[in-house]
Amino acid sequence: MGASQLTGFAMRDPQIESFEKRLHRIDQIHQAGGAFEASGALGRSYFDSMRPKSRRSIPLRGVALVFAGILLVKGAMLAQVGQESYEARVASLAGGSQFERVGAWIMHADPITRKIAGLLAPYIG
């Protein structure tokens, strides 16, 4: 075998292999949008952290929890005072001011409130 044939079989330097692996990792980071940032410099991570976070205008989870809480309170009141007394109190609210009429509309005994009252009645009893 001549010298030209041996060059194809020569072993690669481990330092060059390590360097090429590092270059490959850096290329992957760059393709993903990352970059080197010197300490003290205002790089991409600074501006990404300063960007305002998007929020929903109405917190749906909070609205749902308030709605569930109102239903639970209505059901507990209905179970405690009874159907007739509860409806009499709501009817007295309905004859009052605008604010009281809104309260009567909110507090009326709907089917969900009656179901909750039926479930709570043995415990409130």
Q: Is the pTM of this model over 0.75?
A: no
CA gap 82, 121 in Å, rounded: 9
Tens digit of pLDDT for each residue in 1-34?
455 555 555 567 888 889 999 889 888 877 877 7
CA gap 105, 120 in Å, rounded: 22
Q: Are 80 and 125 a contacting pair, CB within 8 Å?
A: no
CA gap 14, 8 in Å, rounded: 16
Tens digit of pLDDT for each residue in 24-83?
988 887 787 776 666 777 777 777 777 787 777 888 999 999 999 999 999 999 999 999
Hey, what are 38's tokens?
């010197």
